[in-house]
Copies of this chain bind each other. A is one copy, B any other.
Amino acid sequence: MNNSAPIGVFDSGIGGLTVVREIMRQIPNERIVYFGDTARVPYGTKSKETVTRYSRQIVRFLKKQDVKAIVAACNTVSAYALDEIEKEADIPVIGVVKPGARVAADTTKNRKIGVIGTEATIGSRIYTRYIKEINPDAEVLGKACPLFVSLVEEGLLNDPVTDEIAMRYLSSLIDSGIDTLILGCTHYPLIRSTVGKVMGEGVTLVNPAYETARELRKLLEQEKMLNGQSHELGTNQYRFFVSDGAERFIKFANSIIKYGILSAKTINIEEF
């Protein structure tokens, strides 16, 4: 495998761009091929079987782009389909759940950790499982926040409606006395300030996107797969593919990532 080969990153839509942003910051030499399944978003209300089938199609597409490693930048995919993806990929695969769980387990002082995410991620109890492997005494409280994804996709990032919905979703977590809260959906870092305001200063927010990029860096170092060459920005270093609505995607992506996304290509993912 060529070290200058790109990293494949995918998500149900635009949320995974928060992971891309962290990879760009932490390992700026790496090339990235991103796929956002904008035609079939959201994943968080879909069944395990459907999410797995979609993820395997995406892995087959990314493999065709000769990626050297794959990041499943979606909590629902990481919760439901990581084993299947690893089987399909036969190159290193990283999800977002394990890195987030590890940091939360290290961060908490009172051993009370909250997790917010989609219905699928929370229902799978996967964060609970990983956290308890590290710290069996930890208490993990999950809360599904299904409207957050729609509110982010509508751009209501600093808005009284988002505040009101956040207060409803988070009130039980505030009452429970957690000191650490995992943002268990890659859309949520975009409303981090709202969540932080509602939870108050005593609660540390964990962003798995940041931790995932760190873990990716470590993995590439260990496997001697880091890209030593530096690239000029804009020279095909970052490529973006979606299953629908490329223009809408570009607009949104440019508001998250500051490198200027020149183009995104629409593909028919059902063919893979």
Contacts and interface: CB of A to CB of B under 8 A. Distances in A.
Contacts of A147: 150-151, 154
Interface string A146-172: 110011001000001100110000000
Q: What is the total number of copies of this protein in its complex?
A: 2
A173 to B, nearest CB: 19
A248 B45 contact: yes
A109 interface: no
Interface string A39-75: 1100001110010010000000000000000000000
Interface in A224-272: 243-245, 248, 266, 268, 270
Contacts of A164: 160-161, 164
A50 B39 contact: yes
B245 A47 contact: yes
Interface string A7-22: 0000000000000000
B151 A161 contact: no
A47 B47 CA distance: 24
Contacts of A160: 164
Given A147-B150, A151-B147, A154-B147, A45 B161 contact: no
Interface in A90-112: none
A47 B50 CA distance: 22
Q: Nearest 9 CB-CB pairs, A to B?
A: A150-B150, A50-B244, A46-B244, A39-B50, A270-B270, A40-B40, A47-B244, A147-B154, A161-B164
